[in-house]
Structure formats: structure tokens, C-alpha cells
């Protein structure tokens, strides 16, 4: 059995397996820790293992590599990227700074290390509001790259946020009409929404909670409700259904799936530990600057 083989090789390599909430159930089964972007960054920071097998997408593995320069960080499939992260490049931030030399740049964790190196502070969906509120109130702030998370944070904090027009294609597949229909069909269900959702701006007022992936899991754990409409990438439903088999979960869209996350499979995770591939590294001159906004975020929230 592959799962047993993974347990053996993991010990041999002195490795820890970190998996994002969107990964398939089989991968989550072998993971030492499953969580959201913030939780995974913290788990990487804490581990004593020599090797981190990062079952998630590339920017997450890069973040782990920068926070743990003495460890080897592996990703099962090097092509597991993030379309949202690809929607901004460092030069675009430099151009904005020329126009707003006193401004600050906040990047969502879904950015490359090269982009983070140009930013002042990093945020995740869990802590974005708290991090932005910690910045001086009079400053112009460029928020990259997610337009919808940025709009949500702007509405909540009332800060002078300049929005970038990036988006996550998986979350864009979630449409307001589908949510209206599901709410009609399941009137007792709570509606949980990730702030990356393309319809956040229109449907936010309907959401019982706007939460990160881990925030959604914790919310379900503490809620007396039996039914939930879940507006995020559908991989999260694996974890929800495994952890709360007595509850019902309805995906807001059958099409909300991230093909990058799905590139990682149990077989590739095993081969990754066997061959010690694919190692994720960040050039030292970029890592030195890019780790600062991440560390700033981790200090704040």
C-alpha cells in the first residue's frame, strides 16, 4: 500500500508532510499537518524535520523554503502553480511605487517570492484585516493581486486601498445565481464564503461568514447547524466530509476546482520522497528581501 510506503520513506528521510486544505483526501490522510496558508507557514517554521514535503502549490512551498533555509523543501509536482499569483510581476509594483513613493504595498501570500521581495507586508485570508489595520491610516496601500480579497478588506477597514485586478479562476467559477438557488433549496444551511470568491462583492451581505479555508473548518466544528453551502475550491469538502460525517456540505459550484492543486497525487508525493524531487529554492538575494514581509505578517497575526 502506497500510504504505508510513504510512512516508511518519510521516516527514512526525516520528513514532514504538509498539505493544503484543497489537496485530495488521500494526501491529507498521509499529511502530518493539513491547513490553510497561514497554518502551513507556521507549521513549516515549527518543524524539526530535515525535509518538508509540501503538498500544495508553488508559492506555498517557496514561503516554507524562505522561512526554513536549513531544510529541504520538496513539492510533488513542480508545475503546481497558482494562476492568481501569476497575475502580478515585480515590475508592476515598481511602477506603482513611482507614482506613490510614500505608499505601502501589501501582498496576498498567493504571490511569487520575487513579488514579495518588492512588498512591505504579506497577508493571508485569515489575517488580512488585522494586518492592514496595523498599517498607518493615512497611507495609500496597493493590495495585490486578488481583487476580491482586496475589496473585502477595503470594505472592512475603510483604508485607502488601491485594488489590483487579479483573481483566482476556481473561485471565479462560483456565481451569484448558483448561490441564490442553493440557498433556496437548503434554507437551513449556513453559507460560508472564501474572500477570494468572484461574487464576494455582490453576495457578501448574504454570507453568514467570510472565512479562510481553515476558518471554515473551525466554524463548522463550533456550529450547531447541520448543513452548509461552501463557496471555495471543492477540495476543502474532502476534509469537511471526513471530519464531520454527520453534517451535509453543498459546493457552491461543481466547477470550483484548482487544476494546479490536483497535479499533486499520492503517487507523486511518494516519488518525491524517493527521489528527493522537486526541490523548491529561492535565490538568496530575493529570499533575503521576500522573507521580510512574511515575517512582518507573522509578528502581527
Which residues of the chain form contacts with ligand 13P (CB under 6 A)? 21, 36-37, 110, 124-125, 168, 196, 212-213, 233
Residue 98 phi/psi, 5° resolution?
A: -65, -35
Nearest distance from C-beta of residue 93 to ligand 13P, angstroms: 20
Query: Which neighbouring-strand residues pair with 279?
Result: 74
Q: Do the Cβ atoms of 241 and 263 come closer than 8 Å?
A: no
Cell triple for residue 189? 444551511
Q: Do the Cβ atoms of 219 and 226 come closer than 8 Å?
A: no
Nearest distance from C-beta of residue 21 to ligand 13P, angstroms: 5
What is the helix (H) or strand (E) element at residue 123, kind and residue range? strand 121-123
Q: Which is nearer to ligand 13P, 72 or 125 (CB)?
A: 125
Q: Which is nearer to ligand 13P, 190 or 196 (CB)?
A: 196
Q: Which is nearer to ligand 13P, 6 or 39 (CB)?
A: 39
Nearest distance from C-beta of residue 221 to ligand 13P, angstroms: 16
Vertex 266: Cα angle to 255 and 249 (nearest 5): 40
What are the DSSP calls for 54-65, one per residue?
EES-HHHHHHHH
Q: Which is nearer to ligand 13P, 109 or 273 (CB)?
A: 109
Nearest distance from C-beta of residue 223 to ligand 13P, angstroms: 18
Nearest distance from C-beta of residue 163 to ligand 13P, angstroms: 17
* Cα within 13 Å of Cα(283), Cβ side: 7
Q: Which is nearer to ligand 13P, 66 or 168 (CB)?
A: 168
Amino acid at each position: 500500500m502506497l500510504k504505508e510506503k510513504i510512512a516508511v520513506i518519510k521516516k527514512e528521510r526525516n520528513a514532514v508532510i504538509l498539505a493544503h486544505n484543497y489537496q485530495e483526501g488521500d494526501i491529507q490522510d498521509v499529511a502530518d499537518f493539513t491547513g490553510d496558508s497561514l497554518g502551513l507557514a507556521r507549521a513549516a517554521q515549527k518543524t524539526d524535520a530535515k525535509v518538508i514535503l509540501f503538498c500544495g502549490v508553488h508559492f506555498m512551498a517557496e514561503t516554507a523554503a524562505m522561512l526554513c533555509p536549513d531544510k529541504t523543501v520538496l513539492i510533488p509536482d513542480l508545475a503546481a502553480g497558482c494562476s492568481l499569483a501569476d497575475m502580478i510581476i515585480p515590475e508592476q509594483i515598481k511602477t506603482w511605487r513611482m507614482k506613490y513613493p510614500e505608499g505601502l504595498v501589501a501582498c496576498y501570500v498567493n504571490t511569487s517570492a520575487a513579488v514579495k521581495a518588492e512588498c512591505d507586508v504579506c497577508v493571508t485570508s485569515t489575517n488580512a484585516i488585522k494586518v492592514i489595520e496595523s498599517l498607518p491610516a493615512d497611507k495609500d496601500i496597493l493590495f495585490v493581486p486578488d481583487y476580491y480579497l482586496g475589496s473585502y478588506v477595503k470594505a472592512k477597514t475603510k483604508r485607502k486601498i488601491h485594488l489590483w485586478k487579479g483573481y483566482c479562476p476556481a473561485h471565479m467559477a462560483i456565481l451569484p445565481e448558483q448561490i441564490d438557488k442553493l440557498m433556496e433549496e437548503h434554507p437551513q444551511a449556513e453559507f460560508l464564503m472564501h474572500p477570494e470568491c468572484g461574487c464576494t462583492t455582490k453576495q457578501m451581505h448574504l454570507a453568514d461568514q467570510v472565512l479562510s479555508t481553515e476558518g471554515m473548518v473551525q466554524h463548522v466544528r463550533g456550529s450547531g447547524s447541520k448543513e452548509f453551502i461552501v463557496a471555495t475550491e471543492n477540495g476543502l469538502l474532502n476534509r469537511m466530509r471526513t471530519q464531520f460525517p454527520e453534517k451535509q456540505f453543498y459546493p457552491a459550484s461543481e466547477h470550483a476546482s484548482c487544476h494546479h492543486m490536483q497535479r499533486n497525487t499520492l503517487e507523486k508525493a511518494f516519488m518525491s520522497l524517493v527521489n528527493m524531487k522537486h526541490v523548491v529554492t529561492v535565490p538568496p538575494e530575493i529570499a533575503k528581501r521576500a522573507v521580510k514581509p512574511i515575517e512582518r505578517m507573522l509578528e502581527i497575526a
